[in-house]
Amino acid sequence: MRAVALKGKREFELKEIEEPVIDNEKVVIKILKAGICGSDLHYFEMGEPVGLVMGHEFCGEVINPGNRTDLKVGDRVTALPISPCGNCPACLSGNPQYCKSTLDPCCRTFFR
């Protein structure tokens, strides 16, 4: 699928990226709208991480709910695009965005 990715300082490129792989633990969402936030502006100015597809603040429609029983195809959703552990001090204090275990590559870069 096509995506706009960060190429360098203040530079984007249109490229092909892999379709999301269904593993039943994740929900696949068709993005309908995405915003630009302060984090995106910092990445844009720094030019890294190269390859980052921005737009982590979004809304969309579920196209595959995986094993989630509370969602169905067509539901309109948004999401916190990180995978916090739920057990570390950051998670337990209500700040999962600071979790060191997050699987989101942009957040790992942001907090390194």
Binding site for Zn ion (CB under 5 A): 37, 39, 57, 84-85, 88, 91, 99
Shortest reach from residue 16's CB to Zn ion, in Å: 25
Shortest reach from residue 60's CB to Zn ion, in Å: 16
Chain mean position to CA 59: 12
> By Cβ distance, which residue is nearest to Zn ion?
99
- Residue among 65 and 91 whose Cβ is closer to Zn ion: 91
> Are the beta carbons of 27 and 79 closer than 8 angstroms?
yes
Which lies closer to Zn ion via its Cβ, residue 64 or residue 97?
97
Tokens encoding 82: 């990180």
Phi, psi of 61 (to 5 degrees): -120, 135
